[in-house]
């Protein structure tokens, strides 16, 4: 077991998140997006990163990303849907939509529109974890090329990730936790990936 600090360096702006970006989620979904089956990606994550607790209180010993500098700004982008592609997605069950008769992306609720995207220029970030297998961790890191939303547009592009031994063995607790720590703020949040699933939110604590 080794306590590690990961230093991220970015080549492009990062989408400003509405919630913390947890390292375990970055490792997991980068590999799923690269084509690794989810079960295999989760098994590799369990091999690489230690976890503590049982059941709903189980949490990966991996912090959220802490950005060294955050310079906020905004971008606007056009969201335009293809009627045929959207209809096929609904038919195949990839998209759920309350549409009674027909799909029309030229007017109505599916019409193309301008999207407001909060961004930030954050050249570097750090994250901490308790690593069980450096070999498994290196395998996961190989596919981490982007962080955050809109990676298809080039946002959040990762230039490098450098691991060093962490000075503080408890630094991984800088994340949403299912248990209380000194000075932590209480909130409602999801404590395991996928963190965006608000249906699994519970009483949690955020490390200062």
52-61 pLDDT, tens per residue? Answer: 988 888 999 9
Give the pLDDT score at 96.
Answer: 60
Over the stretch 98-125, which tens digit does the pLDDT of each residue have? 555 566 555 555 656 666 778 888 899 9
**CA 5/CA 204 separation, integer angstroms:** 24
Q: How far is Cα 14 from Cα 12, in angstroms, rounded to an integer?
A: 7
pLDDT tens, position by position, 136-163: 999 999 999 999 887 877 889 999 999 9
Check residue 123 and give its pLDDT: 92
Residue 198, token pair as written in the block: 């608000």
Residue-wise pLDDT tens digits, 163-186:
999 999 999 999 999 888 888 888
DSSP codes of every residue in 17-32: PSS--BHHHHHHHHHH
């Amino acid at each position: 077991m080794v306590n590690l600090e990961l230093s991220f360096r970015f080549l492009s702006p990062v989408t400003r998140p509405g919630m913390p970006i947890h390292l375990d989620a970055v490792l997991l979904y980068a590999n799923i997006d690269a084509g690794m089956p989810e079960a295999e990606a989760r098994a590799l994550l369990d091999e690489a990163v230690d976890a503590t607790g049982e059941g709903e209180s189980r949490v990966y010993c991996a912090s959220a990303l802490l950005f060294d500098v955050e310079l906020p700004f905004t971008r606007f982008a056009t969201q335009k849907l293809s009627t045929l592609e959207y209809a096929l997605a609904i038919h195949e069950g990839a998209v759920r939509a309350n549409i009674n008769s027909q799909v029309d992306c030229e007017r109505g609720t599916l019409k193309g529109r301008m999207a407001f995207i909060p961004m930030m220029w954050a050249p570097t970030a750090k994250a901490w974890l308790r690593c069980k297998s450096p070999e498994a961790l290196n395998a996961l890191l190989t596919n981490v090329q982007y962080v955050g939303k809109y990676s298809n547009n080039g946002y959040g592009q990762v230039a490098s990730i450098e691991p060093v031994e962490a000075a503080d063995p408890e630094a991984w607790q800088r994340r949403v936790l299912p248990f209380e720590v000194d000075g932590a703020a209480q909130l409602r949040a999801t404590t395991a990936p996928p963190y965006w699933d608000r249906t699994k939110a519970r009483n949690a604590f955020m490390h200062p």
